[in-house]
């Protein structure tokens, strides 16, 4: 079938769905799967960020390298949990892990602003979602 412009109507015929570009509409899982975090990841991210920031404040910034190391470790833990327990694919789990690591590495406790709502989405998925 052709559309009004005379071109193919099916995206597979145009080559958009081939190669490295993926059809965004083909992503399955919806809002909760896309933006949600496993509730354990959200709680751990908030805990690590608040504890690391407290250490930075008490030490006047001398413990900032420890916060960076904890951000890297938290990223690895987030990736593993999101991939194996939450059911994310490689790319989604990696993006979420890198974002959690970045937010944790910032020397301000802002992870509750992001991990909190994402954890609520994960809890809704765990309570009401399909298994």
Query: What residues make up the domain containing 122?
Result: 30-128
- Residues in the chain, pLDDT under 50: 14-17, 23-26
Number of domains in the chain: 1
Locus of tokens 């809002």: 31
9 domain-assigned: no
19 domain-assigned: no
- In this structure, is residue 13 part of a structural domain? no
**Is residue 114 included in any domain, yes or no?**
yes
**Residue 5 confidence (pLDDT):** 60
Flag whether 22 is in a domain. Answer: no
pLDDT of residue 11: 52
Write down the pLDDT at residue 15: 47
pLDDT confidence of residue 129: 81
Residue 10 lies in a domain: no
- Domain annotation covers residue 18: no
- Total-model pTM: 0.76
Residue 54 covered by a domain:
yes
**pLDDT value at position 26?**
44
According to the model, what pLDDT value does residue 4 have?
61
């Amino acid at each position: 079938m052709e559309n009004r412009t005379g071109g193919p109507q099916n995206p597979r015929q145009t080559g958009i769905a081939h190669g490295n570009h993926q059809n965004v509409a083909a992503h399955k899982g919806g809002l909760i799967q896309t933006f949600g975090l496993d509730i354990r990841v959200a709680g751990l991210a908030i805990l690590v960020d608040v504890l690391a920031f407290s250490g930075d404040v008490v030490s006047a910034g001398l413990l900032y390298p420890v916060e960076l190391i904890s951000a890297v470790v938290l990223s690895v833990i987030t990736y593993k949990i999101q991939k194996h327990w939450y059911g994310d694919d490689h790319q989604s789990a990696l993006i979420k892990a890198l974002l959690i690591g970045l937010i944790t590495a910032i020397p301000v406790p802002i992870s509750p602003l992001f991990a909190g709502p994402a954890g609520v989405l994960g809890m809704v998925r765990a309570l009401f979602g399909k298994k």
